[in-house]
Structure 1
Amino acid sequence: MPRAKLTIDIPNETWIGDVSAQHPELRFEVVTAMPGENTGIALVRLDAAQPLPIITEIRDRDDIDELELLWKYEDEALLQIQSSNPLLLLPVWRSGVPLTTPFEIQDKQATWEMTTSNSRLSRLRSQLDDFGIGFSIDYVRDIDTSQADQLLTDRQQEVLSKAVTEGYYRAPREATLGDVADSLDIANATCSDVLHRAEGHIIHWFIDEHLEVGSTME
């Protein structure tokens, strides 16, 4: 299962490509995005010396259905934007590849990172070509058993490592969830949530890499 990083050329015909081309110093951070066939909704953080004129410029575009200013502080603003032209996200949506968010856009280029199957990554490349969206591949790295820790954040690795050390995963169990939480000086609920997410990442990686999901359902 590969982990990939791509640099994407933002099409001019999208609002963010056009605005980024006119203001190459601007930095956009797409916090999260929900693409669809005919519309796309995204939370976008804008870094600009004067955000308000840029926000007005974006709001006045024909392909912007709705723009809400969620907050603004000095040179930063968080926007919720609904666009009728989600061209940038259509290849992702159609190929079924989950992007790692947030990702940045500056000077008409986006940096995408993803962990997916070889078939879906190949599908994404085909979709980008079909839509005429230029891209370059910074790297594609296979994740094997020795690299499984790359699936986890530093915090998830810390909590999981502590749980193993304390004996939380031994049979019979030598430490409770509360013991692990106390050793890290965090709440039980926080410890449980971090472990659950880490376990989920590892389980899904193992299934994708080593098992055929269809056969496990028979």
Structure 2
Amino acid sequence: MISVTMDMVQYDCPYIDVTDVADVSFHTMHWDFNTAQQELETRILVTGDDHGALTNGLNELQDHERMLGFELLSRRGDTAVIKSFIGQTNAMQTIRDHDGYITGPFQIQDGSELWNVGFDTGADADDALADLEVENDFRVEARNATSFEDYLDVIQHLDAAKGLLDGCRELSETERLTLQKAVDGGYFRTPRDATLETLADAFDVSKTGASKNLRRAEQKVLRRIVAAFPALVEEDRPNRDEGNSVPER
């Protein structure tokens, strides 16, 4: 499989249009394409810069001429979950015409959309990218060949991967920034290139405060990593058992 990540600008996508006029972003949670009606049904997480921005964005989207259906499922503060229906865009049709398929969620903000798509062959990917240039602007952010074994490995460990993502989402902004600064600054290297003092100075807190933020971040992330260990142990066990078995005589 050829995996392609693109930063895409479509000129017939209502979600992209809305992010041009409202301070909101979209992250797809589920999508389903109805081939008979040529409609894309999506459930999307909408995030606004604030409560007013979210209201403005939802109104703009609901009134967009290319929206075929809109339903507000839930809303809390500056986030909402919606169910929506749009017609097939040119880029969607081009991808499907070349046997392409979606491999990850759409992320839409600031007038562009991050696409994760897959193709069975490099030729399919090349042809699709060439045709996309006719009516769309895009930049290929990444292109990788994924073997069947790699793809199977991802599928078999989706729960573990989700657990790691959930652990990252549990971090507060302060914990996330502190952990990122510690890693980037060399706190975990030997010898250390950063210390608690440098972390404290970076965030204008005491050394004790920096230590607490770092420990809380480490605890949340490491707890999720350790929770993934059983899946890896089960995967390795047949090989270890085979290596330790007594050959038949």
Common topology (TM > 0.5)? yes
Q: SS of the residue aligned with 1:89?
A: helix
Name the SS for the 2:100 alignment partner. Answer: coil
Determine the C-alpha separation between the residues in 2 that align with 1:31 and 1:144: 26
Contact (CA 8 Å) 2:105, 2:115: kept in 1 or not?
no
Higher relative contact order (CA 8 A, sep 6+): 1
Partner deviation per Cα, 1:64-105 (whole Å, 9 max, x = no partner): 121011111111111111123534422233222222232211
2:88 corresponds to 1:71: no
Paired AA for residue 46 in structure 2: L
Task: Tell me the residue number matched to 2:58.
Answer: 55
Unaligned runs of 5+ residues in structure 1 are 175-218
The residue matched to 1:21 in structure 2 has which SS? helix
| TM-aligned CA deviation for residue 56 of structure 1 | 1.9
Aligned-residue offset at 1:19: 0.9
CA contact (8 A) 2:5 2:143 kept: yes
| TM-score, scaled relative to structure 2 | 0.57
Aligned to 1:182: none
Q: 2:32 aligns with which of 31, 34, 46?
A: 34
Partner residue, 1:163: 234
Tell me the distance in 2 between the aligned counterparts of 1:115 and 1:150: 15
Asked if 2 retains the 8 angstrom alpha-carbon contact of 1:95 and 1:127, the reply is no
Q: After TM superposition, give the deviation of residue 119 of structure 1 in Å.
A: 3.0
> What TM-score, normalized by structure 1, do the two folds share?
0.64
Overall identity of the aligned pairs, in %: 12
Counterpart residue number, 1:204: none
Amino acid corresponding to residue 26 of structure 1 in structure 2: V
Aligned to 2:124: 120
Aligned residue pair count? 168
How far off is 1:138 after superposition? Answer: 1.5
User: Structure 1 residue 112: deviation in Å?
Assistant: 1.8
Query: 1:123: how far off?
Result: 3.4
Q: What does 1:44-193 align with in structure 2 at a 5 Å threshold?
A: 44-48=44-48, 49-50=50-51, 51-84=54-87, 86-117=89-120, 118-130=122-134, 132-143=135-146, 148=150, 152=154, 153=157, 155=160, 158=229, 160-167=231-238
Amino acid at match of 1:164: E
Tell me the SS of whatever aligns to 1:167: helix
CA positional deviation for 1:26: 1.8
RMSD across aligned positions (CA): 3.1
Evaluate the alpha carbon distance shift between residue 163 and residue 27 of structure 1 in structure 2; reply closer, same or farther with a 3 A threshold: same
Unmatched tracts of structure 2, length 5 or more:
162-227
- Is the helix fraction higher in 1 or 2? 2
Conserved in 1, the CA contact under 8 Å of 2:16 and 2:113?
A: no
2:19 is the counterpart of 1:16: no
**Cα–Cα, structure 1 residues 97 and 70, in superposed 2: closer, same or farther, change >3 Å?**
same
Q: Residue by residue, what CA displacement relative to the aligned partner does 1:174-212 show, whole Å, maximum 9, x if unpaired?
A: 9xxxxxxxxxxxxxxxxxxxxxxxxxxxxxxxxxxxxxx
